[in-house]
Amino acid sequence: MKRIIVVAVLGACDASLDQRLAIVREPRVLAITSEPPEVKPGSDVVYSALVAGPDGPIAASPQWALCNAPKPPTEDNAVSDACLGNAVIDLGAAPTVTATIPADACITFGPDVPPGGFRPRDADPTGGYYQPVRADAELELAFGFSRITCNLPNAPGDVAHAYQLDYVANRNPSVSVAVPSTITRSAAVTLTAEWPPDAAESFLYYDPQTQTLVTRREAMRVSWFASAGAIAVDASAVGETSDATSVTTTWQAPARTGPAWLWIVLRDSRGGIATATIALTIE
């Protein structure tokens, strides 16, 4: 039976940490990247998957599909249960795939009123809406998301018009990690993930309480993964009010010698993703 996972973190970053996931003990999809991360319906995006295992990166060719079923309000999952079955648009099997976001995505997954008795989707904490994409790997059925640019719901006409004119779609961030290429076995290694100052972008947000547009800044979250050893935390977060451009954790290298791998996944709070894969030698 395949595992079902969601490999994108939507909305504001959460500093709570789950330390069960950092060590990759079996093949896993660590991230699904959409390039660009935000588009208008009818635009093209390119999807790719970061797949890892205890022996290093895995060159996978998932079976890709776009979900085309809205999530009923009675379901608590990130995607509709129907997207686990045939309520999808097949995109084929490949390491990367180009998809056209459906023209009705803001109806199916956004604020526009859909037919069939469904209510409009609620925005995430940053005001965003998302088109789910499914990657069917051999052992996992993984879901990622593309942010879709939709019109503002329930906003005054002048505010909605200003939003259309001035809102800038999200871009994927970049991330770098500097570690020695050779590590002593059982060593405590400091890992620092860094991103450029402009990676945490400012963006327009509609405040429904004041019915005005305000400028906010993206929060950032780094997820840490290793093929062996132990990592102090699964994830490190930087809130949207912080100007920090790096986070740090400690990796306890394995007690055995040989190759090891690290993976870093940086996510911004509007759905952008950057990844880094690092090959190491334990001596």
pTM: 0.91
DSSP-assigned states of every residue in the chain? --EEEE----SS------TTSSB--S-EEEEEEEESSEE-TT-EEEEEEEEEETTEE-----EEEEE--PPPTT--SSS-GGGGTT-EEEEEESSEEEEEPPTTHHHHSSSSPPSTTPPPPPP-TTS-EEEEEEEE-SSEEEEEEEEE--PPSS--HHHHHHHHHH---------EE---SEE-TT-EEEEEEE--GGGS-EEEEEETTTTEEEEEE--EEEEEEESSSEES-SEEEE-TT----EEEEEEE--SS-EEEEEEEEEEETTS-EEEEEEEEEE-
Superfamily name and number for 3-282: Immunoglobulins (2.60.40.10)
pLDDT at 102: 97
Q: Give the amino acid at 66.
A: L
Q: What span, in angstroms and rounded, lies between the C-alpha atoms of 85 and 111?
A: 24
140 contacts 28 by C-beta, under 8 angstroms:
yes
Q: What span, in angstroms and rounded, lies between the C-alpha atoms of 272 and 137?
A: 22
Written as six digits, the tokens of 211 are 């019915």
63 contacts 136 by C-beta, under 8 angstroms:
yes
- For residue 235, with 0-12 CB atoms within 10 Å meaning exposed, 13-18 middle and 19 or more buried, which class applies? buried
pLDDT at 14: 38
pLDDT at 239: 97
122 contacts 10 by C-beta, under 8 angstroms:
no
Ranges of the chain with pLDDT below 70: 1-20, 73-76, 114-119
